[in-house]
Amino acid sequence: MKTWEEKLADLRECGVHFTSSAAVEYWSKEKSGQMLRQATYEDLIFMIGALYLTKEETLLPSGQGAWTFDTECVYDASDYVKAMNRAVELTRGEIVVSDVQAHFEDTAWLRFRYDGRDIHWDLQVDDDWIDLSFVDRLDGLLRESGSSRRYCCIDTRGQDVLLLCLTEGELHRLKRLCESEIGPIAGEW
């Protein structure tokens, strides 16, 4: 059986990794040694995609290549701006947006500049649940740009989402490691 450190090395080959030793240290303290020894690849991806609390009590993304979040997470427009920026960050520069703005009350929308264009996407309001259609639309921008990356999702069987942005090769390597269903959000490459 592989150690959790060996599993982290495998995940790095799939484009999913911790971005700092502080994040690794945080999660190794947060989880017991037993839990880390028994951690599945999905467990580790979940930790990599989550936020961790720094010594200065600032929340920072744990890693690159994955984003873990609760879908019941929108309380005001700034939450959509943060979500958009985090989803774009997953593309590792394949999509570059600027001037991200959002509105969230009885209606919701995202506006931003991309590739010299002003883009406006209307979103659905469902209490504090995030409308993930913006990720589908970002995936469309990836396709339009000719990028080799696609947004992919691991089924968490709950209200958490584990979102990744992978090349086809990274996806195939990850599928060999994970027991959970994983695939492109558009259903095709």
Segment 4-22 shows an average pLDDT of 93
User: What mean pLDDT, rounded, does the chain reach?
Assistant: 92
pLDDT tens readout for residues 23-79: 988 888 888 777 888 999 999 999 999 988 888 888 888 999 999 998 888 899 999
Q: Where are the domains of the chain?
A: 4-69+150-184, 71-145
Segment 103-108 shows an average pLDDT of 93
Segment 122-132 shows an average pLDDT of 91
First to last CA, the chain: 32
Residue 157, pLDDT > 80, answer no
The span from the CA of 17 to the CA of 66, in Å, is: 8
Q: What pLDDT score does 156 carry?
A: 80
